[in-house]
Structure 1
Amino acid sequence: MKKYIHPKWYTKVPVLFENNVIYITGSTSSYLSVEILAKVHPAYQKKLETTLSSPADKFNKKYKKSTK
């Protein structure tokens, strides 16, 4: 077996978001930083408006009868 082919394993690596430690994990990297976090991302907080409509909505919009 070859020696020294495996990367060094760090057992306590801080995961940082905006210079705040989120949690501690193990990794082959001594430093981890994330740019997007589910707690603050609008898509995960349901703050984004969805523009998708169902096929039934498209049909009703296309063949809508006037109510006058």
Structure 2
Amino acid sequence: MPKSNIHPKWFKDTPVLCDGKPLSLVGSTKNELQIDIWLGNHPFYTKSQVVIDSEGRVERFMKKYGLNSADQ
């Protein structure tokens, strides 16, 4: 016989919160979901992403394989 009462409680309208602000309602086994990053504040989607060339990695790659930016 399968065990009874082994499934967690299902919350039909669980609020998804980011910085205390409600974003949406979803179904979950938790009564509240806290998230740090979502579509509205992710650097990729807000076009605030900065690509940093640390330690000249691009230049080292180009030099290693004998490529120039004008070759493209």
TM-score (structure 1 length as normaliser) = 0.69
Task: Identify the residue that residue 68 of structure 2 maps to in structure 1.
Answer: 60
Task: Identify the residue that residue 12 of structure 2 maps to in structure 1.
Answer: 11
Structure 1 vs Structure 2: percent identity of aligned residues? 33
Name the CA distance, whole Å, in 2 between partners of 1:21 and 1:15.
6
Are residues 1:20 and 2:28 paired?
no
Q: What are the ranges of 5 or more consecutive residues in structure 1 without an aligned counterpart?
A: 62-68
Q: What are the ranges of 5 or more consecutive residues in structure 2 without an aligned counterpart?
A: none
Q: Give RMSD over aligned pairs.
A: 2.6
Task: Identify the residue that residue 33 of structure 1 maps to in structure 2.
Answer: 34
The Cα offsets for residues 6-65 of structure 1, whole Å up to 9 and x where unpaired, read as: 111110100011111100000000111101122112133232232475x7xx2105xxxx
